[in-house]
Amino acid sequence: MNSIKRSLGRTGRRRMAVVGAVAAGALVLAACGNDSDGKSDKGHHMPGTDHGGSHSATASPGSSESSTKGAFNDADVKFAQMMIPHHQQAVEMAELSGSRAADKEIKELSAAIERAQGPEIKTLQGWLKAWGKPESMDHGMPGMHHGSGGSGMSGIMSEKDMADLKASKGTAYDKKFAAMMTEHHNGAISMAEDEQKNGRNADAKKLAGAIIKGQTAEVGKFRKILGRL
């Protein structure tokens, strides 16, 4: 009987050893798997993770998806319809600086205006399309003249203003451009303030706020330039 008990005891201990070895092996494999995953995470992003911020949590003001989510009113439509030609003229003026400006800061500000207002034009056009509204105002653009109060488009340059700007070069151009763009920006700021006050669409009001902030800062720079030229 004692020999049988000793044999059974040895068998039980061997089974426990085998079980323990198997468990230990599983732990080692799991540890290796975790280490491999960790290395993979460092070198490769898993699906659904952030890839350098390429996916924004919110839609940009320029996306038609964001604009169609919010309600809009006549003030929003008017803001878009008026700001498009206003921006287009600003871009036209800024493009002249490449061949006519002498001042480095004038050239830098002109390039900044093109970068900012070109995409904003497309944003505004996209909103009007999404809203089912025409790009141009029903009454046309009868007030497209210097300080045009009739259409509410203050700051728009007349054909003569534009011709004078195109005919100038060097420091004379820099002074004229800075003075004209200051007035032009102030007109856009006034229109944007009206949108924030009377508009309804959240994206349109957000863009209006960006215009106010950006162009107010540029007006300050143009005034400093005029002071030193």
What percentage of the chain carries pLDDT values higher than 90?
A: 61
CATH number, residue 157: 1.20.1260.10
Residues 86-109 have a mean pLDDT of 97
In the chain, the number of structural domains is: 2
Q: How open is the CA angle 113-201-66, to the nearest 5 degrees? A: 75
Query: Measuring CA to CA, which residue among 74, 40, 91 is closest to residue 152?
Result: 74
Task: Note whether 225 and 103 are within 8 A (CB).
Answer: yes
- Report residue 132: phi and psi, to 5°: 75, 30
Per-residue tokens: 114: 């093109």
Residues 82 and 190 in one domain: yes
Is the per-residue pLDDT at 47 higher than 70? Answer: no
Q: What integer pLDDT is reported at residue 2 of this predicted model?
A: 44
Report the predicted TM-score, pTM, of the whole model to 2 decimal places.
Answer: 0.67
Residues 138 and 208 in one domain: yes
Q: How confident is the model at residue 25 (pLDDT cuts 50, 70, 90)?
A: very low
Task: Note whether 156 and 86 are within 8 A (CB).
Answer: yes
Is the per-residue pLDDT at 184 higher than 90? Answer: yes
Asked, for residue 136, whether it belongs to a domain, the answer is yes
Give the CA count within 13 Å in the CB-facing half-sphere of 33. Answer: 6
**Separation between Cα atoms, residue 13 and residue 10, nearest integer Å:** 5
> Across all residues in the chain, what is the average pLDDT?
76
Tens digits of per-residue pLDDT, 113-163?
999 999 999 999 999 999 999 998 754 443 343 444 344 578 999 999 999
